[in-house]
Amino acid sequence: MPERTVVIASRTGLHARPAKLFVQAAAAQGVPVRIRLGAGRSVPATSMLAVMALGAGHGAEVVLEAEGPGADSALDSLAELLSRDLDAEEAPDA
């Protein structure tokens, strides 16, 4: 199963807005994606509660896993997202 290790760049970690953006992006990938903090248990990346419950703060190292056709590109996209400070970026117009 392909995986990527990423350091969380957002100042608030995977909480509030960054978690929401990550969960939405994971759901849009079309392949099952899981995330874990360090050597912990992996959780579905599409579950807001599970992602926030990881407690992944700024600078934490998480591992993303996916399987199926397109898993590598899905992981690349999600890893790039987490490596940005999503708190510093402007919210899109509603």
User: Does residue 58 carry a catalytic annotation?
Assistant: no
Asked if 43 and 34 count as a contact pair (C-beta separation under 8 A), the reply is yes
User: What's the token pair of residue 36?
Assistant: 């874990």
Nearest to 26 by CA among 83, 71, 86, 87: 71
Which of 10, 14, 15, 35 is an active site residue?
15
Helices (H), 28-82: 48-53, 71-82
Active-site residue numbers?
Answer: 15
